[in-house]
Amino acid sequence: DIQMTQSPSSLSASVGDRVTITCRASQDISRWLAWYQQKPEKAPKALIYDASNLQSGVPARFSGSGSGTDFTLTISSLQAEDFATYYCQQYNRYPLTFGGGTKVEIK
Amino acid sequence: QITLKESGPTLVKPTQTLTLTCTFSGFSLSTNGVGVAWIRQPPGKALEWLALIYWDDDKRYSPSLKSRLTISKDTSKNQVVLTMTNVDPVDTATYYCAHRLSFGELHFDSWGQGTLVTVSS
């Protein structure tokens, strides 16, 4: 199985901050990576697919980059509604696997 | 607009079989390339992919749970059913179904609201 490791597991930030979350795959997954946002008691919502493509309707302050084994999700200017948990997921091969999540909290 | 909704029991006893249904709209599972997956999330923990079924009845399972899972579809009813045998308290989780394609955009682009299943005697 491909292991997905996210860092940090949690972070505190203020509105307006630039936030970067890292996801590392245990083997090369090319660009077959997605990012999801999950708010408490809600289903995950797709933000980014194919490492850097913005899902329709997602604000442009979200961006993704990377390829191979190292990926990042960046929020250019954190907004109040962005406080949530973020997950990466690889779909290079089965079984499909998720990272452990990064919780973004208010400082 | 794609929508999905999970349904099933909220409480199941250990060793019993859990049956969950995903009812969807906005797409057809008879359309080339379309798939529906099941993903779960234990309370306070990360997401875990369980199973996936495609329009052509191709089925994929998580290796760690494969012996206990069965996924099936009823195209006429726009439903996907997941059965999990011999449940245990560690199977307590919110279970989600999600839409996926087998080509093009391969991520889970639409999710159901989830259904919480508790396994307890």
pLDDT tens string A34-62: 999 999 999 999 999 999 999 999 999 99
Confidence of residue B115 (pLDDT cuts 50, 70, 90): very high
With contact defined as beta carbons under 8 Å apart, do A50 and A63 qualify? no
pLDDT digits (tens, 9 = 90+) for B23-74: 999 999 999 999 999 999 999 999 999 999 999 999 999 999 999 999 999 9
Contact list in A for residue B106 (CB cut-off 8 A) is: 32, 49-50, 91
**Chain A residues 45-74 within an 8 A CB cutoff of chain B:** 45-46, 49-50, 53, 55
Amino acid found at B18: L
- What is the structure's pLDDT at B102? 84
Q: What pLDDT digit, counting tens, does each position of A84-98 carry?
A: 999 999 999 999 999
Q: Which two structure tokens, joined as six digits, stand for B26?
A: 């906005």
Question: Residue A34 and residue A94: Cα distance in Å, rounded?
Answer: 15
Closest partner residue to B47 among A53, A87, A91, by Cβ?
Answer: A87
Closest chain B residue to A42 measured between Cα atoms?
Answer: B113
Q: What is the pLDDT of residue B104?
A: 81
Chain B residues whose CB is inside 8 A of the A32 CB are: 106
According to the model, what pLDDT value does residue B110 have?
Answer: 97
Check if the beta carbon of residue B65 is closer than 8 Å to that of residue B50: yes
Residues in chain B whose Cβ is within 8 Å of chain A? 37, 46-49, 52, 60-64, 96, 105-114
Please tell me whether residue A45 adopts helix, strand or coil conformation. strand
- Quick one: pLDDT at residue A55? 96
- For residues A4, B92, B85, B5, the Cα torsion angle rounded to the nearest 10 degrees is -80
CA distances, B64 to each of A95, B40, B88 (Å): 9, 14, 14
Nearest to B107 among A34, A42, A100 (CB): A34
| B89 contacts B14 by C-beta, under 8 angstroms | yes
Average pLDDT over residues A17-35: 98
